[in-house]
Chains A and B, each alone.
Chain A
Amino acid sequence: MAKKPQLAIDTRPWRDPAAKPFVRIKNVTKKFGDTIAVHDVSLDIYKSELFCLLGGSGSGKSTLLRMLAGFEQPTSGTIEIDGQDMTQVPPYNRPINMMFQSYALFPHMNVEQNIAYGLKRDHMPKGEISDRVAELLALVKLQDYGKRKPHQLSGGQRQRVALARALAKRPKLLLLDEPLGALDKKLREETQFELVKIQESLGVTFIVVTHDQEEAMTLATRIGVMNQGEIAMIGEPTDIYEFPNSRFVAGFIGSANMVEGVVTEDEPDHVRIRSAELGCDIYVGHGVDCAPDQLLWWAIRPEKMHLSREKPEGLNGANVTRGIVEDIAYLGDMSVYQVVLDSGKHIRVSQTNSVRGNPDAITWDEPVFVTWGDNAGSVLTV
């Protein structure tokens, strides 16, 4: 559902070093008393992006969003939007609108009045206001609900009213705080799709705060992973998943097996890591910025490994280990095997269930071999 890449440079301005960012957060720090909520964050966001700030609670993602909206003042650093310094501008003078997590619909106004509120503050002529409101109601498919009060709407409808109200003033930038958090799973999936469609058709820049990694992966053009007030990694969803830059990112996004190891061979075209935990050597088919005897970590996704009964060949005497199947979680499309290695370390391996009701499938308590390719895992030094 994320934006289809047509021409890399057209749809991914962040890959173009000459592109001018639309939102520029420079060295922003926010302290509440002694606690540092956001620490020295710098972030560039480009026009028409759908940028997700992803992090657990207390990671500082919401504080960063509230600083963009103007509800909090950075302790230091600047925020520029479309080339203008917005750091000192109060929220009611910013060309930004926000969709609140609680939706924050005015309970004493009906749907139309809620949507028109921002337009009235701009002293837009009455006729234009009603045209705009009708247009927005059509956009969020609530044409027949204009006269209802917020408490007469369902959760999904309220979410759409909140979106329409936030879009009414045609902001250059829309901030969304956990936009789908209050919806149930099925509705959330549908709404994700609609949200991306609306974003694409209007070309507004979206910044979405979420703690739900699946949501971030589906929505975003790029994701900024936040941890303890700092940006841990910025990248496209595939980068974040396949090439995490740290143990935190590898562990936070999706599931990963992580082992400690020591570098035994450090060549420009390959690296060999000895891991006691894994019970074998890891052969990595590309150079890594490390030194011999350095202690580092290696992370691999469960679906990048393969299970077999017969001992596979491996790679240069590496990348094969063995263990016993301790548990199997059958998920329909695939099964996740929990394998306990000789060292006592548990790893998870997922296998696609490509044969229907396979009687020959690997089962509980079977000794198995686990193998992987030379490029399947990530070497992590931090």
Chain B
Amino acid sequence: MPELLIKTQHLTKTYQMGEVKVHALRGVDLEIHKGEFIAIMGASGSGKTTFMNLLGCLDHPSGGTYWLDGTDVHAISDTELTRIRNQKIGYVFQSFYLLPRTTAMENVELPLLYRNKLNHHQRHELAISAMRKVSIEDRMHHFPNQLSGGQQQRVAIARAIVNEPVFLLADEPTGNLDTRTSLEVMAVFQQLHKEGKTIVLVTHEQDIASYAQRNITFRDGKIVADTTNPNPKDALSDLARLPKLDEEE
């Protein structure tokens, strides 16, 4: 069994909405090991997004404990949390969240800017190698509005992996993309997984989840199913089976 990467124990999150207390998470126990490719599923309001925010150290839990790579994330300061976000987690969002009017290159470099002790050249080389991994390096001087959705998501993935994080957290990464581009993005994730990356992907599409090794389903703030997918689909071969487009690029 590979090394344990993430362990949550009875993780809860409660929001105060005026008079009413909303229990978004009602105690989640989960273990994730290095090298896993996990899809978290659930209808909207099931708590999967809240769980993703906690997993990504974007928010504080109301109760329970969360261990990430040996650190008790629940108990550390905001500054430390920022450092963890910067160096241990890579984010991929549904609407890409690239900075507008900023080149692909600069977007990918962004996490490196907040990591000290890197000079201009080191940043440049790391950014290029990250973009090469997702085959977007030929677009490095383009602005986000000059790129297609799939290309923008590749830039976002390059930004997520540029700091060599311990795991990738993707929130509905294919939610804004058509079938073909979704498959392309999933192929990128599967490739990164093959290279040893741990990936946690949040989606509400069963079809997308079937590309992952392990599926976790949320309902009403709790995990209701945790299944292993023995034969995940292969995005590249599915892509090859799609009917050819009349006009290729």
> Do A and B originate from a single complex?
no
Residues of A within 8 A of B (CB): none
Residues of B within 8 A of A (CB): none
